[in-house]
Structure 1
Amino acid sequence: MIPAKNLKFNWIVFLTALTIAVVSCAKKTSSITTNASNPWKKMDLVLKSIPQTHFEDKVYNINDFGAVADGKTLNTEAFQKAIKQCAANGGGQVLVPNGKYLTGAIYLESNVNLHLQDNAEILFSLNPKDYPIVHTSWEGTEVMNYSPLIYAKNKTNIAVTGKGTLNGQADSTNWWIWSGGKNYGWKKGIPSQNDPTNREVLVDMAEKGVPVAERIFGEGRYLRPNFIEFFECNTALIKDVTIINSPFWILHPIKTNNMIIDGVTVNSHGPNNDGCDPEYSQNIVIKNCTFNTGDDCIAIKSGRDADGRRVAIPSKNIIVQNCKMIDGHGGVVIGSEISAGVNNVFVENCVMDSPNLDRAIRIKTNSKRGGVIEDIFVRNLEVGTVKECVLKLNMFYNVYGSQTGNFIPTIRNVSLENVNVKNGGKYSVWAEGYAASPVENITLKNVKIQKVDSVYLLKNVKNINFINTYINEKKVESIKH
């Protein structure tokens, strides 16, 4: 038999513990509710968590390794000697002085900052043989193909900085003609990526599960190289450089975490000239940049079809701040290579304006791609002119023929807040989902869109909220269905 005084003590202990548990639970619930109602706090936490690059105070001038600034001498070997010695000595800055330097592929090593002086220009060779076969990716499918112009794989603490220029020298007489586009110099009889043995063969290999090491392309396959690709890297920086005339995608972090792209200017109007394509990547910050491109300004990716599902790494915690978007298919785009999904995208304080800018915010996928795209937050946009629409969410994206399959995508939780649009194009919101998978939970708050042809085009959309939103000066009511 338990003594009465012990029973009293046990009850006091029990009630005290219960009170603490209830209070603790209430605090946790409150915290969860706060984070859910204010996702921008999560963005702040991500920003604080990203490590900064740091380099030894040592300088390795490429001229000391034999580089010649005449725009004609091939300096590939000089670049690599400087980079390797810098890395071997613990890292530092590889300096590209003022002048024009021709080179083939540049391979970065850990702890190396490739720094361009203000009037330095790196001219990249137009000879495909100067870009050896490496493990890379092409339109969301991993492949052994021409090396990107600047490439790093499995490196840590790397950077490309300075106010100089990176010039891919691409135009309609060389790389761009490979696209098969008549606007880029292609004519019938000229080989291109669209030939039956090229792009579609790669996609078919991925669908059949052919190992990446056996997907050998390169010479005779006409798949153009990316410009800057950091593959499976961590803690990276690209800052202040100007990039022009790219063969293909321009900034391509793939399977890379903790990267900052700051103050970069991209001016390249070639085919598939996306400005920045984070793919299978996390904790990526794109800020203070200007994009004037032949394709999407920023396009967040996570692999194409079977290859994306094989890799299965979603892109997440992608932050876009204080950027300017001029020409392009879209300002900030998610997809279409999106099979592993995307979440936690934050876009704020950007300006988008051009008669050649098709859309401001866009999500594009289909039932071959699949993917879960969720938690996309946009605020404080100033949009001058867009051609087609302000917000486009499309589960039926189709640009390469039949794009249907058994992988129904998910799009949910997309928010636009404090957005002003002067010329909205054809639609304010264009959203299309499946009956079994509607586009869900779309919010426009404090949005004003002028000079738009139609308020919206909606198909299989559930719960679209218009809060203090005016389109063509008329307040728009929410739709719940």
Structure 2
Amino acid sequence: MTHANQSISYDQPTYPDLGRIYPGDYYPDLPVDDYICRTNPLPQGPAVFDIRDFGAVAEPGRLNTEAFQQAADAAKDCGGGVILVSGGTYRLGTVWIPSHTTLFIAPDACLEASRNADLLLDQNPHHHQKYGTESVEGAFIRVRGAEDVVITGGGRISGSGEWYVYEPRELPALHPFDLTMLPRRDQAARINSVPDTVRYYYRQRIRYAEDKYQEGRPNLRRPSYMVWVEDSCQVRLENIILHDAMCWTLNVDCCQDVIIRNLVIDDNRHVANTDGIDITGSSHVTIEHCFISCADDGICLKNPVHTGRAMRDIQIRDCKVLSVMNAFKIGTGTRHDISQVRVSNCDFYLPDIYPGGVSGISIESCDGSHITDIILEDIRMDQVQCPIYLLLNRRNEAGDPYTDTPGVNAYWGGSVMDITLRHITAENVELPCLVTGFVSQTESGQPVRQAIQHVCLEDIEIRYRDNQEKIYLPQQFDEFLTDYPESNAHGDVDACGFWFRHADGLRLKQIRIKPRQVNTRPLLTFYDVNQVQVSEVTTLA
């Protein structure tokens, strides 16, 4: 069935001078054949709706939004079916996938996002959600309020990411830096622009949509996600390539019973905010055998204010993550509880651009979440600056009102407890691991102590990259009460292995650390820590 009455139109980029790609933007050795099967057949039984039968044409720059959506609507009218994308690259604005539907993108096909922001941003302000102070304004591929949805086929979804961000200040760094140095805490107001620091090294190379450096440029308009699955259940994404996201790549938002398997994410590693997989307020989620290369957090669990629910039962295994930021992260949006998380047999690394990923494992509660029952084991890291970062503070992004009594609301933060990290190796490390809660006081002067509790660290080996380091130790370490948490934002600490502060119930066993040759700091330091068991801590030659 052809639809000759459809109007023919071509994409008009909102920012036609953008879109450049530089060496180092993309990982050159993408192991697609290890994850993607190119011979999977179409599902048998359901009706097939080929977008070409609805007028789609794989012509460069031609828009096929209407044809695709007509195919999707036809599937919906039949109670479900298969939307078939085959035979070339099809450029689209926002499209919607209904219940009981498989989006099958064949290995020879690609759905490519429009470069016109108006075709991807949600024009209805009532549809916008809030993530703290951040508005959500649209996505490319959308699934909302649906069940029994599959995205598969061995083909590709591409987000045209470079077309929605400014050029970088510096080109990708393809060689390691001789010096590791952090910005000091008294430089927090200009933390991203202190020369020769690790933050400066990578931040100067990130492409932002905002006027980050107050140069008088307007903020660029871009959609928030490439693939957004919200308020849905029984969803499966497998055997698909997600490429060149314009912001978050895949957001699974307020869903349950989701499987993400045999997925390749191949983002520009310098386009800001390109998280790989975000699990947001969702439960009963499995992520397995995925390869993720991205500029921001690789696999990220968060539960911000808009979800209004706890999230639990997240299983992650057999994944490889190349992230400029945090390979695995819980945070930053953490208003509601997160529990029962298992991560096993994963590799976190960044082999070809520098200065290396910000962290391997980050677990952060800063807006009131109670984060508990988290186990990560059999994790291998290479060229990750900080292997482990556990933080509890009271950023309070939702703006809960002040109270004299901790625990009444989220003003004084949540908790981080019952964390097990074991069988972990990290090579070419640049910064120590941090585990820290906080102390403060009420307006009436009563002390408040919020400690990280019950952390087990077992069989962990850390080997530093043997470059030079420049350390500045302050007279007093900042409590980091309300700051945005990042492992390299605290300034230097007086330990090269693990720095513990405001923590109760620590168990350390079989900890092996090889510092730099120029190291002058002890392996471990403890401040305001109770109930500590330490055994078999070794300095490696």
TM-score higher than 0.5 here?
Answer: yes
* Change in CA separation of 1:440 and 1:327 when aligned onto 2, cut-off 3 Å: same
Match for residue 49 of structure 2?
Answer: 60
Q: 3-state SS of the aligned residue for 2:118?
A: helix
CA deviation string 1:196-235 (max 9, x = no partner) = xxxxxxxxxxxxxxxxxxxxxxxxxx46321111110000
Q: d(CA) in 2 for partners of 1:223 and 1:103?
A: 15
**Identity score, percent:** 20
Match for residue 316 of structure 2?
Answer: 320
Match for residue 336 of structure 1?
Answer: 332
Q: d(CA) in 1 for partners of 2:130 and 2:251?
A: 10
Match for residue 453 of structure 2?
Answer: 440
The higher relative CO (CA closer than 8 Å, separation ≥ 6) is in: 2
Q: 3-state SS of the aligned residue for 1:146?
A: coil
Q: d(CA) in 2 for partners of 1:95 and 1:56?
A: 14
Question: Are positions 1:381 and 2:379 aligned together?
Answer: yes
Tell me which of 160, 173, 177 is aligned to 1:169: 160
Structure showing the higher helix proportion among its residues: 1
Match for residue 426 of structure 2?
Answer: 421
Question: Are positions 1:480 and 2:535 aligned together?
Answer: no
Q: CA deviation at 1:153?
A: 1.1
Q: CA deviation at 1:471?
A: 2.4
2:342–2:375 contact (8 Å) kept in structure 1: yes
Normalized against structure 1, the TM-score is what?
0.74
Question: Are positions 1:460 and 2:505 aligned together?
Answer: no
Q: CA deviation at 1:142?
A: 8.2
Question: Are positions 1:390 and 2:387 aligned together?
Answer: yes
2:365–2:416 contact (8 Å) kept in structure 1: no
Q: CA deviation at 1:409?
A: 2.1
> Mind listing any 5+ residue stretches in structure 1 that lack a counterpart?
1-53, 194-221
Q: d(CA) in 2 for partners of 1:465 and 1:404?
A: 36
Match for residue 293 of structure 1?
Answer: 294
Q: d(CA) in 1 for partners of 2:449 and 2:281?
A: 27
1:364–1:397 contact (8 Å) kept in structure 2: no
Normalized against structure 2, the TM-score is what?
0.66
Q: d(CA) in 2 for partners of 1:274 and 1:403?
A: 27
Q: 3-state SS of the aligned residue for 1:133?
A: coil
CA deviation string 1:327-373 (max 9, x = no partner) = 2311110111010121111100101112521111102233xx12111
Q: d(CA) in 2 for partners of 1:462 and 1:448?
A: 23
Question: Are positions 1:110 and 2:70 aligned together?
Answer: no
* Change in CA separation of 1:425 and 1:178 when aligned onto 2, cut-off 3 Å: closer
Amino acid aligned to 2:381: V
Q: CA deviation at 1:141?
A: 6.3
Tell me which of 190, 212, 236 is aligned to 2:217: 190
Cα RMSD (Å) of the superposition? 3.1
Q: 3-state SS of the aligned residue for 2:413?
A: coil
Q: CA deviation at 1:320?
A: 0.9
Tell me which of 339, 349, 362 is aligned to 1:353: 349
Q: CA deviation at 1:301?
A: 0.9
Q: 3-state SS of the aligned residue for 2:281?
A: coil
1:178–1:224 contact (8 Å) kept in structure 2: no
Q: 3-state SS of the aligned residue for 1:457?
A: strand
1:116–1:161 contact (8 Å) kept in structure 2: yes
Q: 3-state SS of the aligned residue for 2:260?
A: strand
Matches within 5 A, 1:60-459: 60-131=49-120, 132-133=122-123, 135-137=127-129, 139=131, 146-171=137-162, 174-177=163-166, 183-184=206-207, 188-192=215-219, 222=221, 224-268=223-267, 269=269, 270-303=271-304, 307-308=305-306, 311-354=307-350, 355-366=355-366, 369-387=367-385, 389-396=386-393, 406-434=411-439, 436-451=449-464, 454-459=496-501
Structure 1's consecutive aligned runs of 4 or more residues displaced over 6 angstroms after TM superposition are 178-182, 397-400, 402-405, 473-479
Q: d(CA) in 2 for partners of 1:150 and 1:344?
A: 29
Amino acid aligned to 2:243: I
1:325–1:352 contact (8 Å) kept in structure 2: yes
Q: d(CA) in 1 for partners of 2:401 and 2:388?
A: 23
* 148-157 or 433-442, larger mean C-alpha shift: 433-442
Instruction: Count matched residues.
Output: 388
* Change in CA separation of 1:178 and 1:426 when aligned onto 2, cut-off 3 Å: closer
2:365–2:415 contact (8 Å) kept in structure 1: no
Q: CA deviation at 1:242?
A: 1.4
Q: CA deviation at 1:444?
A: 1.2
